[in-house]
Structure 1
Amino acid sequence: MTDLIRRHPLIAFLTMAYLGSWAGWSPWWLSESGLGLPYELPVSAIAGVNQLGLFAGPFAAALIVTRVVEGREGVRRLLRRLVRWRAHPGLHALALVAIPVAAGAGYLLVRAPAGDPGLIAPLAITYATYLLGGPIQEEPGWRGFALPRLRRRLSPIAAALVLGVIHCFWHAPLFLTREWDTARGDAGQLVAYLVLTVSLSVVLSWLASGSRGSLMLAVLGHNGVNWALFAAGALTGSAVTSTWPAALGLAALALAAIALTRGRLGDTDVRPGSGPAVEPLTSARSPAHGRAAPTAE
């Protein structure tokens, strides 16, 4: 099994990420609120199951495959990128300001915000809660593990687009549930969600590659979208029933990212196989045989 993982690390990661999350979420999407098995989960249980799926999916998959391919030092390098904060100030502004504004402004243009000062504390608490409830578990896998390996084969834009599609369909079981807080009123909302995740992938790829692999910025940018959708509902006093305003705002930001970077998205070389500006993806020494473990992807 380890030899297979070393030969096909990206395929191994994606398989583990999908199966780990879908299995972890299964008590939720199989329940009465999902496929309809005759049992219900309380809200507290749903929150726990959601966390289980997140940790068992891209987070665990990234750690396991990195450990097999690059050894313990590779895992330490990956986790250190979660606390790497040094980057151009413009990238910090992109993660903390531009992404939330792009995702949320459309809702506020349609319906004026309430302007209630009492919302400041709940919005701040929710930002921190959302930060711990998804992006930290996802980004070590998506931008930390998968993106550099996709760049071995694809240009920066193509790698970002492919990863966005992968990220979108990873959420598939959650579309079966009632409680997941994403608009799903009609088939058009599924298209909107695809546009949103692919556009976000382009912008987060710029953040990750432009900061030489900082996962902290990718986490903050990812969290900005989740929080902006909540904030839009809180500020307007009505639940978000369409993903299109956020999707179109992020699509505009993604096009701006492509234009501003001339398609590089933070990479120094746009050619497939050049790889993003992160630590080298070194081959690990096999502890059993004392030789380099080859990687095919």
Structure 2
Amino acid sequence: MTDLLIQQQHTDLKSRTLIGFYALTFAITWGVVGIYIIAPEGAVALFGEISGSHPFFFLATWAPALSAFLLILTASGVSGLKAFLSRLLLWRVSPVWAAFLIIGIPLVFMAGSLLKGGPLIAPMPPEGAGAMVAVLFMMLFLGPIEEFGWRGVAQPILQRHVAPLWAGVIIGTIWGIWHLPAFFLSNTVFASWNFFPFLMGNIAIAVIATPLFNASRGSLLLPMLFHWQLINPFWPDAQPYDTWILVVVAAAVVWWNRDSMLGGKGAVTQVIPADRGANQ
């Protein structure tokens, strides 16, 4: 019976896989975007101007997820990928976290916008609210998909070796640098932003996501919803004030969860969960 239970367990990703994950993720994204930076005229002539609906934009954005899926399939096959995706079904979290996802994040953007003299809600386009809803739906298939890599693979592997706080800082730093080529594309929103506040914001977001991730036992769904709220087109552009508010929120979250963030209690370290039968 013991041998049978052991056979039911999936082969989890080894820690060294993290190097391959980051290398492959950067190679895809920087390779695609780099074409438009190094040879913009030739890239546009061959592939068309890159935009939020261009296939290359999706490819660059989905790089963390594609890298994660490829590495999991290589290590554990289709059954391992199914077990990994079962983390989408983990959704239970405290009411405080639920309130933060639903109410807290919009308040961050609204407060930041007010500080810069902007509106509480993003201005409606000429096409009306329907167009905003369409963009919101499209956003669900952009940034949130990254979480299959950042929180799906990188977070649990890093937490095997460092405290959750430092895992969040590392992920946030690399995540911010991963976005760097987008700041050199003139037709993206990043082109009008300053990179340093953006980087600080990424670190703050990754730190905030860390206790949410661990409290939900490694949920993929909740970090994806968190990410979706961050790029919700209904929230106003509050750069750079929203970044500094998020830094304050991150500091408060670390203090409130200081035992688990610094001590590692309850940290999720499995990329591919063991079968339920193996844990009973």
TM-score by length of 2: 0.79
Native 8 Å contact 1:151 1:275 kept in 2: no
2:31 pairs, out of 12, 17, 23, with 23
Q: Does 1:213 align with 2:218?
A: yes
2:140 pairs, out of 126, 131, 146, with 131
Q: Name the residue aligned to 1:174.
A: 182
Q: Name the residue aligned to 2:99.
A: 93
Distance 2:118 2:176 in 1: 30
CA, structure 1 residues 258+7, in 2 after alignment: closer, same or farther (shift >3 Å)?
Answer: closer
Q: What residue identity is the alignment partner of 1:151?
A: Q
Q: Provide, for residues 195-247 of structure 1, a one-character-per-residue CA deviation record: whole Å limited to 9, x for no partner.
A: 1000000111122111111111101111222226x6314xxxxxx6xx32121
CA, structure 1 residues 46+110, in 2 after alignment: closer, same or farther (shift >3 Å)?
Answer: same
Native 8 Å contact 1:67 1:75 kept in 2: yes
1:231 pairs, out of 231, 235, 253, with 235
Q: What residue identity is the alignment partner of 2:56?
A: V
Q: What residue identity is the alignment partner of 1:14?
A: Y
Residue 85 of structure 1: CA displacement? 2.4
CA, structure 1 residues 152+125, in 2 after alignment: closer, same or farther (shift >3 Å)?
Answer: same
Native 8 Å contact 2:183 2:191 kept in 1: no
CA, structure 1 residues 112+146, in 2 after alignment: closer, same or farther (shift >3 Å)?
Answer: closer
Distance 2:226 2:50 in 1: 27
Q: Name the residue aligned to 1:193.
A: 198
Q: Does 1:270 align with 2:279?
A: no
Native 8 Å contact 1:24 1:53 kept in 2: yes
Residue 87 of structure 1: CA displacement? 2.3
Query: What pairs with 1:92-171 in structure 2 (closer than 5 Å)?
Result: 92-113=98-119, 120-136=129-145, 138-171=146-179
Native 8 Å contact 2:110 2:120 kept in 1: no
CA, structure 1 residues 69+14, in 2 after alignment: closer, same or farther (shift >3 Å)?
Answer: same
- In structure 1, the gaps of 5 or more residues are 234-239, 284-297
Q: Provide, for residues 167-189 of structure 1, a one-character-per-residue CA deviation record: whole Å limited to 9, x for no partner.
A: 0111122111012212545xxx2
SS at match of 1:232: coil
CA, structure 1 residues 113+256, in 2 after alignment: closer, same or farther (shift >3 Å)?
Answer: same
Distance 1:205 1:79 in 2: 19
Q: What residue identity is the alignment partner of 2:260?
A: R
Q: What residue identity is the alignment partner of 1:64?
A: L
Q: Name the residue aligned to 1:62.
A: 68
Q: Does 1:53 align with 2:60?
A: yes
Distance 2:163 2:177 in 1: 22
Distance 2:136 2:228 in 1: 8
Native 8 Å contact 2:109 2:235 kept in 1: no
Residue 114 of structure 1: CA displacement? 7.2
Q: What residue identity is the alignment partner of 1:88?
A: S
Native 8 Å contact 2:105 2:229 kept in 1: yes
Native 8 Å contact 1:147 1:159 kept in 2: yes
Distance 1:98 1:76 in 2: 32
Native 8 Å contact 2:115 2:241 kept in 1: no
Q: Name the residue aligned to 1:14.
A: 22
SS at match of 1:152: coil
Q: What residue identity is the alignment partner of 1:231?
A: W
CA RMSD in angstroms comes to 3.1
Moved more, 209-218 or 41-50: 41-50
Q: Name the residue aligned to 1:73.
A: 79
Native 8 Å contact 1:29 1:174 kept in 2: no
Residue 68 of structure 1: CA displacement? 2.6
